[in-house]
Copies of this chain bind each other. A is one copy, B any other.
Amino acid sequence: MSEIFKHHLEKFIEVNDTEFLDILAFFQVVKVRKKENLLLEGQICKSNYFVLNGCLRKFFVNEKGTEQTTEFAIENWWITDNIAYENQQASEFYIQAVENSEILVIDHHSQEKLLAEFPKMERYFRFIFQRAYAASQMRIKYLYSFSKEDFYHQLNSKYPDFVQRIPQYLIASFLGFTPEYLSEIRNKKRS
């Protein structure tokens, strides 16, 4: 299973087998069950998560008491509350498993040690954050330029497998509307 991570690293940096085992030793491999929480609002965000298999999501509870999903992470994605993780502060978010998942977990202190021992991991994480930031810039553009309905159609045409894979009430929670409204849009499209 950890081969998935090696393969991912090798997209960005060169890592031989010995180095990979040394790098991997900084992580824990953890299995989580669907709906299990990895982080709760108000908790110190201690860890950064890499999905080997499965799916996690990040959400906050808005003032109406509704879960608003802001991010999903499937295979080969990292997820955490980055501000709270970097500053080792209480988080405003929850992180929860959407499916039974197998993940790599690293805590902040171990990640610092990993970066000090393997400076090439700076390059790896530079790429990871660079791409994550670029993706979030486009996300912000979409949030400004699309109606919620257009945003759904965009998601559906760009990532059909993802939309099929994720429970519809979570897609609705990501798009910021009710499951009923999502179902209405889907029916409208079919008719």
Measured CB to CB, the residues of A under 8 A from B are 60, 62-63, 68, 70-71, 81-83, 86, 92-93, 115, 119, 122-123, 125-126, 129-141, 143-145, 176
Partner of A130, one of B63, B70, B129: B129
Chain B residues contacting A130 (CB-CB under 8 Å) are: 82, 86, 125, 129
Give the distance to chain B from A150, nearest Cβ to Cβ, in Å: 10
- Total copies of the chain: 2
Nearest CB in chain B: distance from A11 CB, A: 14
Q: With A62-B144, A143-B140 in contact, do A133 and B82 touch (Cβ < 8 Å)?
A: yes
User: Which residues from B are CB-within-8-Å of A83?
Assistant: 134-135, 137-138
The distance in angstroms between the C-alpha atoms of A135 and B84, with both chains bound, is 11
> A140-B140, A145-B63 in contact; A133/B129 too (CB < 8 A)?
yes
Q: Please give the distance in Å from A135's CB to the nearest CB on chain B.
A: 8
On chain B, the residues within 8 Å of A129 by CB distance are: 126, 129-130, 132-133
**Could you list some 21 contacts between A and B, CB below 8 A?**
A60-B141, A60-B145, A62-B144, A62-B145, A70-B137, A70-B144, A71-B137, A83-B135, A83-B137, A83-B138, A86-B130, A86-B131, A119-B119, A119-B122, A122-B122, A125-B130, A126-B126, A129-B130, A136-B136, A136-B140, A140-B143
In the complex, are the beta carbons of A141 and B86 less than 8 A apart? no
Q: Which residue of B lies closest to A62 (CB)?
A: B145
Are B141 and A139 touching (Cβ within 8 A)?
no
CA distance A77 to B133 in the complex (A): 14
